Amino acid sequence: MKSVFRRTLFLGFIAFLLTVSGCSVSTAEQFSSGNANRPLVKPKTATERPKIVAFGDSLTAGFGLAEKDSYPYLLQKKLESDGFNYEVVNAGVSGETSLGGLERIDWVLAQENVQILILELGANDLLRGLPVAKMKENLSTIIEKAKAKNVKVLLCGMLAPDNLGAEYQRDYVSAFPDLADEHKVEFLPFILENVALKKELNQADGIHPNAEGSKVLTANVYQALKPMLEKK
């Protein structure tokens, strides 16, 4: 029953996504994704506390939201409230693909004292119909680069509609748990659980969470992240 609901949900969800897949990179973000006219830059950080890097696309960047409503900002507040001494770095870029993430991951991981990477990429690969094998390879390399620096990874999965073909859907949906198993990293199956297609929790585009939806998204991430944390 749950799988039927998710399949129906994503048929609508992806239809919405296809109408806005041309959204530009948020000017509030500090990264360039493969733009030859701009150098890749590292995110600015305020402290030398242990860092949690939220690395992803528009869902991470907080597309359409005030900074204080983005999930990395809300996650920072949750950590502080629970006595965890981490700095959350928002390394989200709207429209990012797995390849774009791979192109900038070295810059992001070059910061001092990065301890956890929350990896949320793949939805834009799906929208563009990019090969699942290539997406999986890109994400695998990102995970390997993080682990090579002793950075723990929380991988966020995505779902796919069946109108892309049963084989593509199967390969796409299984790519994320397969990667989590292969690399032995923590896994959040669906970052938009209890948010997707709920009108009251999304912006007018029907895709990106509004301020209330961002709170639910943050709770999803925090539930998966919390076992990875250490009190300092």
pLDDT digits (tens, 9 = 90+) for 125-159: 999 999 999 999 999 999 999 999 999 999 999 98
Confidence (pLDDT) at 26: 33
In 3D space, the residue among 63, 53, 52, 136 whose CA is nearest the CA of residue 93 turns out to be 63
Phi, psi dihedral angles at 51 (to 5 degrees): -110, 140
The pLDDT of 111-119, averaged and rounded, is: 97
Average pLDDT over residues 44-61: 87
CA distance 184 to 179: 8
* C-alpha–C-alpha distance, residues 113 and 51, integer Å: 6
How much is the pLDDT for 230? Answer: 87
In the structure, what pLDDT confidence band is assigned to residue 39 with cuts at 50, 70 and 90?
very low
Q: Which residue has the tokens 């030859």?
A: 36
Mean pLDDT in residue range 165-182 = 96
Three-point CA angle 180, 186, 192, nearest 5°: 90
Spatial distance between the Cα atoms of 173 and 33, rounded to a whole number of angstroms:
25
Query: What whole-number distance in Å separates Cα of residue 120 and Cα of residue 157?
Result: 7
Active-site residue flag, 183? no
In the predicted model, what is the mean pLDDT of the chain? 85
pLDDT the model gives residue 44: 53
pLDDT at 4 over 50: no
Catalytic residue, chosen from 33, 58, 94, 214, is 58
Q: Which residue in 33, 57, 94, 208 is the catalytic one?
A: 208
Active site residue 125: no
**For residue 109, is pLDDT > 50?**
yes
| Total number of residues shown for the chain | 232
C-beta of residue 183 within 8 angstroms of C-beta of residue 144: yes
Which pTM value belongs to this model?
0.82
The whole-angstrom separation of Cα 216 and Cα 222 is 10
Kindly report which listed range (16-25, 57-66, 185-194) carries the lowest average pLDDT score.
Answer: 16-25
> Considering the chain, what percentage of its residues have pLDDT values greater than 90?
73
pLDDT value for 46: 53
Residue-range domain boundaries for the chain: 2-19+52-228
Neighbouring C-beta atoms of residue 223, cutoff 10 Å? 11
pLDDT at 35: 38
According to the model, what pLDDT value does residue 159 have? Answer: 86
Residue 61 in tokens: 């960047």
Task: Specify the pLDDT at position 14.
Answer: 53
Amino acid at 6: R
Give the Cα separation of 122 and 157 in Å (integer): 8
The token pair that represents 228 in the structure block:
């990875």
Least Cα distance to 218 among 96, 90, 83 occurs for 90
Confidence of residue 23 (pLDDT cuts 50, 70, 90): very low
Helix (H, G, I), strand (E, B) or coil at 101: helix
Q: Which residue spans within 128-229 are E strands per DSSP?
A: 152-156, 186-188
Q: 164: how many CB neighbours lie within 10 A of its CB?
A: 16
**Catalytic status, residue 208:** yes
pLDDT at residue 33 greater than cutoff 50: no
Lowest mean pLDDT among 3-12, 49-58, 61-70: 3-12
How far apart CA 111 and CA 9 sit, in angstroms, is 38
Catalytic residue among 82, 178, 181, 205: 205
The confidence score (pLDDT) of residue 176 equals 98
- Place domain 2-19+52-228 in its CATH homologous superfamily: SGNH hydrolase (3.40.50.1110)
